[in-house]
């Protein structure tokens, strides 16, 4: 098979972790006789510095011409004082919109090898944590109009619009129910329907779509309760289905309680065209360029790219197994270091995974 992957290194530790992700991916597919071609695009702060825009037209074109987009991370203190519409993050939102990536899949789990890192009480952690947040990614208050910051009667007001159409809810609900069918067949839909009309529609539509999935169990939680349940007993969750803003918050919560944010991959998919695959963590500017970053979330994002983006489950599993083996052999980057383990840098970690493919 021949495929073209568009690489978007972004900012901070982005370039170094993406190098390792691409190396591992390339080694895995070569082993099975496939040839991948790579293009590169600027996004985020790096793009702002070079072109003035956080998502240049050339990057959009390169992404659209590819079979999958492999992104590392955007943002950093250098651009923190820019207005929201000029910030690196805007590039990320724009590429999601441009590629129609409405479904964001964010798994969070406790890897047996790293169970000690979990931030929860041992008796809670022991019950297990293996869930996936299915977050709607191109609607909600993130994109709703009108939005603005202006003066009204001499006083400043800021406003955004929380809005979902029936169609937007239907398509993400299907993704969640189908995802559940590959797992433990449980979907918990999260909303704030005790207060918000948007959420009332959300709950109604999800309930309607569920009629096509009688084999999947559906429950509903208000977002405040869901945030609480996630730390009280995350083992109750399989698939969490929610909108853009609630999903942003809950997916950070779900991933950080595992204690190994540096391990978690994500996928963003549209109805057709290339998907985008990236680690859940950010650009960690404090350790950028020091070969200290953990490349494993990026390497595992390569596995998601292969499985979900290119339907290459065998190569995806090769990468996941090689990562497990590397951890089992005791290698750790600083963020997941424990007494008695072997400390390695970013490049070394990538190399160790390649050797175990
Ligand atoms: C994420 C991030 C982005 C979001 C930011 C960087 C725009 O927090 O991917 O979760 O809010 O979606
Ligand atoms: Mg976020």
Query: What pLDDT score was predicted for residue 156?
Result: 97
Are residues 1 and 89 located together in one domain of the fold?
yes
CA of 248 to the centre of ligand 1 (A): 6
Are residues 280 and 333 located together in one domain of the fold?
yes
Total number of domains constituting the chain: 2
Are residues 96 and 201 located together in one domain of the fold?
no
CA of 252 to the centre of ligand 1 (A): 10
Where does a domain end: 203, 224, 257?
257
Query: What pLDDT score was predicted for residue 84?
Result: 84
Count Cβ atoms below 10 Å from residue 112 Cβ, excluding itself: 9
- Please report which ligand is nearest the Cα atom of 76: 1
Query: From the CB of 254, is ligand 1 less than 6 Å away?
Result: no
- Closest residue by Cα to atom 10, ligand 1, is 248
Are residues 127 and 253 located together in one domain of the fold?
yes
Where does a domain end: 257, 283, 318?
257
Are residues 180 and 279 located together in one domain of the fold?
no
Query: What pLDDT score was predicted for residue 260?
Result: 83
Are residues 38 and 98 located together in one domain of the fold?
yes
Catalytic positions are 142, 192, 224, 248, 252
Question: pLDDT band at 259, cuts 50/70/90?
Answer: confident
Query: What pLDDT score was predicted for residue 239?
Result: 98
Length of the chain: 357
Are residues 286 and 319 located together in one domain of the fold?
yes
Contacts of 194 (CB under 8 A, 6+ apart): 222
**In the predicted structure, residue 116 carries a pLDDT above the cut 90:** no
CA of 87 to the centre of ligand 2 (A): 15
Query: From the CB of 248, is ligand 1 less than 6 Å away?
Result: yes
Are residues 162 and 275 located together in one domain of the fold?
no
Query: From the CB of 278, is ligand 1 less than 6 Å away?
Result: no
Query: From the CB of 93, is ligand 1 less than 6 Å away?
Result: yes
Cα torsion angle, 24, 28, 33, 34, sign: negative
Range of the domain at 24: 1-110+264-357
**For the segment 150-197, what is each residue's pLDDT rounded down to a tens digit?**
999 999 999 999 999 999 999 999 999 999 999 999 999 999 999 999
191-218 average pLDDT score? 98
Residue matched to tokens 């200290």: 292
**For the segment 21-51, what is each residue's pLDDT rounded down to a tens digit?**
999 999 999 999 999 999 999 999 999 999 9
Alpha-helix runs per DSSP H in the chain: 14-31, 45-51, 57-64, 88-98, 122-125, 166-181, 197-210, 223-232, 244-257, 296-304, 313-328, 346-355
Are residues 54 and 89 located together in one domain of the fold?
yes
Are residues 124 and 252 located together in one domain of the fold?
yes
Please give the torsion angle defined by the CA atoms of residues 84, 85, 86 and 87, in that order, rounded to the nearest 10 degrees. 50
Best residue among 45, 79, 91, 92 to mutate for probing ligand 1's pocket (most ligand atoms within 8 Å of CB) is 92
Are residues 273 and 295 located together in one domain of the fold?
yes
Least Cα distance to 217 among 198, 241, 252, 253 occurs for 241
How many angstroms separate the CA atoms of 304 and 308, rounded?
6
Determine if the pTM surpasses 0.85.
yes
- Closest residue by Cα to atom 7, ligand 1, is 89
Best residue among 80, 89, 96, 256 to mutate for probing ligand 1's pocket (most ligand atoms within 8 Å of CB) is 89
CA of 90 to the centre of ligand 1 (A): 9
274-291 average pLDDT score? 96
CATH code, 39:
3.40.718.10
At residue 62's C-alpha, the angle toward residues 58 and 67, to 5°, is 165
CA of 281 to the centre of ligand 1 (A): 10
- Closest residue by Cα to atom 11, ligand 1, is 248
**For the segment 321-342, what is each residue's pLDDT rounded down to a tens digit?**
999 999 999 999 999 998 999 9
- Measured from the Cα of 75, ligand 1's closest atom is 6
Where does a domain end: 226, 257, 288?
257
Query: From the CB of 26, is ligand 1 less than 6 Å away?
Result: no
- Closest residue by Cα to atom 8, ligand 1, is 248
Residue matched to tokens 């009629």: 211
Are residues 37 and 147 located together in one domain of the fold?
no
**In the predicted structure, residue 112 carries a pLDDT above the cut 90:** no
């Amino acid at each position: 098979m021949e495929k073209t992957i568009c690489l978007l290194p972004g900012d901070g530790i982005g370039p170094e972790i993406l190098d390792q992700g691409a190396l591992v991916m390339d080694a895995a597919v070569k082993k099975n006789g496939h040839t991948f071609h790579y293009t590169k695009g600027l996004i985020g702060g790096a793009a702002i510095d070079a072109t003035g825009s956080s998502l240049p037209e050339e990057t959009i074109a390169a992404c659209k011409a590819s079979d999958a987009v492999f992104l590392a991370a955007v943002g950093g203190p250098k651009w923190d004082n820019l207005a929201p519409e000029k910030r690196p993050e805007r590039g990320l939102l724009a590429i999601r919109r441009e590629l129609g990536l409405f479904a964001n899949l964010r798994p969070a789990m406790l890897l047996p090898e790293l169970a000690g890192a979990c931030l929860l009480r041992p008796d809670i952690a022991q019950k297990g944590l293996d869930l996936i947040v299915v977050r709607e990614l191109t609607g909600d208050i993130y994109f709703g109009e009108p939005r603005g910051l202006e003066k009204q009667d001499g006083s400043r007001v800021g406003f955004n619009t929380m809005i979902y159409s029936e169609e937007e809810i239907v398509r993400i609900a299907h993704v969640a129910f189908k995802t559940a069918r590959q797992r433990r067949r449980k979907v918990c839909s999260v909303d704030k329907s005790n207060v918000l009309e948007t959420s009332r529609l959300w709950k109604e539509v999800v309930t309607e779509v569920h009629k096509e999935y009688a084999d999947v169990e559906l429950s509903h939680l208000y977002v405040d309760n869901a945030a609480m349940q996630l730390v009280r007993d995350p083992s109750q969750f399989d698939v969490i289905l929610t909108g853009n803003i609630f999903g942003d918050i809950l997916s950070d919560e779900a991933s950080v309680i595992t204690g190994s944010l540096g391990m978690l991959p994500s996928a963003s998919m549209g109805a057709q065209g290339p998907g985008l695959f990236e680690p859940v963590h950010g650009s960690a500017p404090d350790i950028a360029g020091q070969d200290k970053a953990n490349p494993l979330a990026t390497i595992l994002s390569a596995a998601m790219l292969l499985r979900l983006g290119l339907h290459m489950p065998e190569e995806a599993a090769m990468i996941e197994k090689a990562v497990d083996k590397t951890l089992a052999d005791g290698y750790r980057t600083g963020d997941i270091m424990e007494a008695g383990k072997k400390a390695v840098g970013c490049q070394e970690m990538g190399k160790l995974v390649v050797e175990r493919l």
